[in-house]
Amino acid sequence: MKNDCIGDEFMYKVLVVDDSAFMRQLIKSILESTGKFVVTVAQTPLIALDRVRKFKFDVITIDYEMPYMNGVELIKKIKEITDTKILMISAYTRPGAYTTFEALSAGAFDYILKPSSEEELEEFKYELIKKLTAVCEECKKEDTSKVHELPAAVEGKILLEESIVERVRLARVIGIGISTGGPPVLERMFKSLKKDFPIPILVVQHMPPNFTKPFADRLATITSKCIKEVSDKEEIKGGCIYIAKGGYHLAVEEMNGKLFTRVLDLEKIKSHKPSADILFSSIAEACGRASVGIVMTGMGSDGSDGILEMRKKGALTIAQDEKSCVVFGMPKAAIEKGAIELVLNPDQIVELLNRV
């Protein structure tokens, strides 16, 4: 049976659900101007559900504030009908952040912020095209069953070799770089991580400034673990998970034998701030072989240079496998650089960590 992700031979099919005529037309014009997408619109959730029952779409964009039912409720109903990828259109506010995480938990693969200025409109256009193109291309690869040919000896290694577990056990810190599709994956992983896990974890999840604290608060609530948005010059303690602050880079620094966080207001790296490259590079410098680096689902190549530095210092380096990624860009880039020792899915990663 043909994968729902695939449109016709040349164009991807998109359903835009928004009660604002302006936003419907804006998204439609942006996408159709690329020549890659053919767009159908729906001004209410009820019309959207009717469209979904009658037609196959590669991806659906959904606004949160709509009549009859909100965006999260609509996502849940769509997921009962089809596994089509869904992008949430979110408000750039703290309440908007909380609803966005509900949408991601309900099944949206990612989100994009509504523009409120000319400058933000340009960013909106860029992000919209980039995210929809990336997820459609990933789905097309799944449908044709073409798996990337990757360097040998990274996939299929025995997960629970005692020597691998021992290297994790000796780590002073674990760094994770993750982007598109990340929040639900981190939620599941941290829920499954054992309560007394002793090694601190530092996470770069690509997010805007207003979103990282609500994200950390949400993770802390649903996992009952020590999870917080990071502060500058904070001593890194075992058993805690630190989420990088949106709009700033996160680094690790050693002082007097102890590890501390650094929150840095520097230029974007590979269009990202925070950047996984900054985190991984600082871990390589501060901890050397006594560390673990994990690069996970996301577009682009952020993290690939930093995690290569970690591997050169003897750290254990892990990439998420292609099958479980929403977008395989970041892990693929790291693997192709020769930076990765193990390729695992999120459940295997947690299984490894729980052996410590």
Residues carrying an active site annotation: 179, 206, 302
Say which residues have a Cβ less than 8 Å from residue 60's Cβ, sequence separation at least 6: 14, 15, 16, 17, 48, 52, 78, 84, 85, 86, 87
Q: Is the CB of residue 274 less than 8 Å from the CB of residue 306?
A: no
If you ran DSSP here, which 8-state letter would residue 173 be given?
E
Give the position of tokens 């240079």: 305
Q: What are the start-end ranges of the H helices in the chain? A: 21-32, 45-54, 71-81, 94-106, 118-144, 162-169, 182-192, 209-223, 276-287, 304-312, 329-336, 346-354
Write the Ramachandran bin of 153: left for phi over 0, alpha for psi from -120 to 50, otherwise beta: left
Q: At what angle do helices 94-106 and 71-81 cross, to 10 degrees?
A: 10
How many Å apart are CA 181 and CA 223, to the nearest integer?
Answer: 19
How many Å apart are CA 276 and CA 279, to the nearest integer?
Answer: 5
Q: Is the CB of residue 331 less than 8 Å from the CB of residue 296?
A: yes
Q: Give the three-class secondary structure for 123.
A: helix
Phi, psi of 249 (to 5 degrees): -90, 150
- CA torsion, ordered 117, 118, 123, 128, to nearest 10 deg: 90
How many Å apart are CA 186 and CA 192, to the nearest integer?
Answer: 10
Which amino acid type is present at position 120?
E
Q: Is the CB of residue 269 less than 8 Å from the CB of residue 283?
A: no
How many Å apart are CA 49 and CA 273, to the nearest integer?
Answer: 37
Q: What is the CA radius of gyration of the chain?
A: 20
